[in-house]
Amino acid sequence: MADNLQLNLPKRPRIGECLWCDRSDWKNILQQFALPDEDKIALAHFAEKGYLLIKNGIPRDIADAAISEYEALIEKNAILRDLSTKDGRLPNVHKYTTTGKQVFTRASEALRFQDILFGYRSSVYTSLYFKYGTQQSIHRDVPVFRTQPENFYFGVWYGLEDATVENGALRAIPGGHRVSSVDQFALAARHTNDADSIHPSQSPMWTIYQTAVAEQCKSQGLEEISIEMEKGDVLIWHPLLPHGGGKIISEGQTRQSIVYHVVPEGCPVYQMDVFFNRTKQDVPDLATWKYDLFEDRLFAAR
Ligand SMILES: O=C(O)CCC(=O)C(=O)O
Ligand SMILES: [Fe+2]
């Protein structure tokens, strides 16, 4: 890996921009892309449902090597072993293993779609390695991945093994990213008289917001589904898509996966202290962190 790079990235989304697929004229924009029909169908699915599934996106040898390298890492590193056992996840696996970066850089079809959906080159902000299904309740990621401009973030999930309802496949509410009736500032005003004291990563506002989103989705007749995936498949989700991890029915069965939280190169990420505070919306649109370059892709240095 190269030395940390401090970059000034002129090609990045600027205040006032939004994802093209969130614009009211997205169908016209999509028609103008010089892409085969099957790509346009996949992109239209993302715009309407909030996610895009890429079959066989990871080379099989990389998926196998990612599991072996993770196992070898936690075998020899007691601190990381403790961390991943206690939290059920290893944060920023890309920092510790080569395959933890290659799952991202070698899945070329997934990268191509991320770049098209952003309209900019995708880069890694954080990653998580999961050995088991997370059983996380349905949520939107956006309160802790509040980019500037807004919504230039995707969760990109890579299956290292099959994920089925037995071992805790992902769940999602298709179309839930379009539910716009939850006003996070009004919610914050109702639950605190001091928005400036909202903590970036630990706040009761998280659950309050996610509960309101789930209620709104339900009242609009949207339903939760299970997204079963095969080893090597990749799923890209919209920043506002409600999603989570299914219940593990076969106890002890693994569901190995890596999720990358991605943003355009140079795009900064803020957390709940910004997301819920109306007076902090004017934050800078250039990331202040350094990057590592690996196989032509940028990873935020941690
Ligand atoms: O893998 C899962 O079960 C959910 C992961 C997730 O929600 C996330 O990384 O944002
Ligand atoms: Fe999530």
Give domain status of residue 218, yes or no.
Answer: no
From the alpha carbon of 139, which atom of ligand 1 is closest? 7
pLDDT for the residue numbered 2: 55
Chain-centroid distance of CA 32 in Å reads 27
Give domain status of residue 12, yes or no.
Answer: no
Give domain status of residue 228, yes or no.
Answer: yes
Residues with CB under 5 A from ligand 2 (ion): 141
* Cα 173 to Cα 38: distance, rounded to the nearest angstrom: 23
Give domain status of residue 46, yes or no.
Answer: yes
Give domain status of residue 266, yes or no.
Answer: yes
Find the helix packing angle between 78-87 and 60-76, rounded to 10°.
110
Does the CB atom of residue 246 touch ligand 1 within 6 A? no
How much distance in Å is there from the Cα of 194 to the middle of ligand 1? 30
Please name the amino acid found at residue 214: A
Burial of 82 (0-12, 13-18, 19+ CB in 10 A): exposed
Give domain status of residue 96, yes or no.
Answer: yes
- Range of the structural domain that residue 147 is part of: 20-178+224-272+284-300
pLDDT for the residue numbered 1: 54
What is the number of the ligand closest to the CA of 167?
A: 1
| Domain CATH for 62 | 2.60.120.620
How much distance in Å is there from the Cα of 53 to the middle of ligand 1? 15
Does the CB atom of residue 259 touch ligand 1 within 6 A? yes
pLDDT for the residue numbered 88: 87
Domain count, the chain: 1
Give domain status of residue 161, yes or no.
Answer: yes
How much distance in Å is there from the Cα of 203 to the middle of ligand 1? 19
**Tens place of pLDDT per residue across the chain (302 aa):** 556 788 888 899 999 999 999 999 999 999 999 999 999 999 999 999 999 999 999 999 999 999 999 999 999 999 999 989 888 899 999 999 999 999 999 999 999 999 999 999 999 999 999 999 999 999 999 999 999 999 999 999 999 999 999 999 999 999 999 999 999 999 999 999 899 999 999 999 999 999 999 999 999 999 999 999 999 999 999 999 999 999 999 999 999 999 999 999 999 999 999 999 999 999 999 999 999 999 999 999 97
Give domain status of residue 219, yes or no.
Answer: no
Closest to 298 (Cα-Cα) out of 266, 259, 257, 260: 266
